[in-house]
């Protein structure tokens, strides 16, 4: 009899888990159903930078997880046969106006590179050299170039992974589901029982696990970014992404497409409507970097909802006292970096069982999940 596994949530964690559940040894013995209504998902709205190595976060568990996620990407993209429109190691440039700050940043990069071969080469660039690398910029600052940095389109990545898994053992149900106190998944066709359930709904986790008597330390945050049409330089798809000091992230894609953002709007919560004032702020950031950009350059706006914990750290693993359930949430703005590695971890656990030790990557789950009776 085939084992039945459910995934609730089709973002970066759910999609990667589904992909590995279709690829890992033994996948031919399972059936996977993914439930997702597609509303507000952070991953599908995101386009970001995979370059965790210069983060100044003091949380070393997060850094190890983010580094592992960056290391996984080339293998995942190759194995899933996804193209450069989804992910490409273009390099990343982190800029600093002050010379002393630039030297400090470079020293940090050199130190981190000792244990992170994926970083590639690390060099300092003058403002002119930054502009030579990214000719779109009209007001460049000096910076540090990390050749192993990359850009990724979250929506295209999720779509590609789910399409691959759907060719094997994945069925996708486009609906929002709930859980009941008996641990069943309540669908539009009634209650269904699964052998294992992966809960990867991000900011919606608190509501989802409440019937299990579990309280989750999760809050929502709105994020918005803009897409712009800019001059299509030759080989633009190879331009490094830029993390400019004092401005929004600057992510050039090929064929004259530029993405700028994203915002961090705590008051926005689950609101996924476009905020014209925020759009204007993002456009202003773009114009300070590229003088030719105008309101007419705007081609699209993406909005999604991220999930955060009180200490801004992600968590994942077996739900305490409900070990048929695996969970992941709290990825925040680093979801595209950490999500694939978390999804792979959860897929392996759902398929093979056991109690893996992930303590090098996170605090105990009881830090974030507690019995609502307490």
Q: Classify 3-44+155-217+311-367 by CATH class.
A: alpha beta
Tokens 């994942």 label which residue? 316
The DSSP call for residue 366 is: G
Residue 234 is predicted with a pLDDT of 78
Residue 114 is predicted with a pLDDT of 93
Residue 42 is predicted with a pLDDT of 67
User: CA angle, 264 as apex, 54 and 36 as ends, to 5°?
Assistant: 100
Q: How many CA within 13 A on the CB side of residue 83?
A: 5
Q: Which two tokens stand for residue 140?
A: 């460049």
Q: Which of 278, 281, 216, 215 is nearest to 246 (CA)?
A: 281
Largest CA distance in the chain: 65
Q: Which of 155, 138, 161, 120 is nearest to 45 (CA)?
A: 155
- Mean pLDDT in order along the chain per 10 residues (374 residues): 93 97 96 90 76 91 97 97 93 95 95 93 97 93 96 94 97 97 96 98 97 97 95 83 93 90 90 94 95 95 94 96 96 95 98 94 97 71
User: CA angle, 165 as apex, 40 and 352 as ends, to 5°?
Assistant: 100
Q: Which two tokens stand for residue 230?
A: 């800019």
Q: Domain 88-150+220-308 belongs to what architecture?
A: 2-Layer Sandwich (3.30)
Domain ranges of the chain: 3-44+155-217+311-367, 88-150+220-308
Q: Which two tokens stand for residue 155?
A: 């929506």
């Amino acid at each position: 009899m085939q084992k039945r596994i459910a995934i609730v949530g089709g973002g970066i964690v759910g999609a990667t888990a589904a992909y590995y559940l279709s690829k890992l040894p033994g996948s031919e013995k399972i059936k996977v159903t993914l439930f997702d209504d597609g509303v507000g998902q952070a991953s599908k709205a995101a386009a970001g930078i995979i370059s965790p190595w210069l983060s100044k976060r003091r949380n070393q568990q997060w850094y190890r997880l983010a580094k592992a996620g960056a290391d996984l990407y080339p293998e995942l993209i190759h194995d899933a046969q996804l193209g450069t429109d989804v992910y490409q190691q273009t390099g990343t440039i982190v800029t600093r106006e002050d010379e002393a700050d630039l030297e400090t940043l470079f020293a940090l990069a050199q130190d981190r590179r000792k244990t992170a071969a994926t970083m590639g080469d690390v060099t300092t660039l003058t403002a002119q050299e930054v502009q030579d690398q990214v000719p779109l910029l009209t007001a460049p600052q000096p910076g540090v170039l990390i050749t192993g940095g990359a850009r990724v389109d979250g929506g295209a990545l999720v779509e590609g992974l789910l399409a691959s898994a759907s060719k094997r053992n994945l069925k996708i149900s486009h609906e929002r589901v709930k859980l009941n106190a008996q641990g069943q998944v309540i669908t539009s066709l009634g209650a269904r029982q699964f052998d294992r359930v992966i809960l990867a709904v991000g900011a919606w986790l608190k509501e989802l696990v409440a019937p299990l008597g579990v309280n989750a330390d999760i809050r929502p945050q709105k994020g918005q970014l803009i897409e712009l049409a800019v001059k299509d330089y030759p080989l633009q798809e190879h331009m490094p992404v830029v993390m400019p000091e004092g401005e929004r992230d600057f992510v050039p894609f090929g064929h004259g497409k530029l993405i700028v953002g994203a915002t961090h709007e705590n008051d926005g919560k689950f609101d996924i409507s476009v905020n014209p004032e925020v759009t204007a702020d993002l456009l202003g950031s773009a114009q300070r970097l590229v003088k030719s950009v105008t309101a007419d350059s705007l081609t699209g706006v993406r909005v999604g909802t991220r999930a955060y914990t009180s200490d801004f750290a992600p968590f994942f693993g077996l739900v305490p006292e409900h070990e048929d359930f695996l969970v992941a949430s709290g990825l925040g703005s680093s979801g595209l970096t950490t999500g694939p590695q978390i999804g792979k971890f959860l897929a392996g656990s759902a398929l093979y069982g056991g109690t893996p030790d992930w303590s090098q990557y996170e605090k105990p789950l009881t830090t974030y999940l507690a019995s609502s009776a307490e």
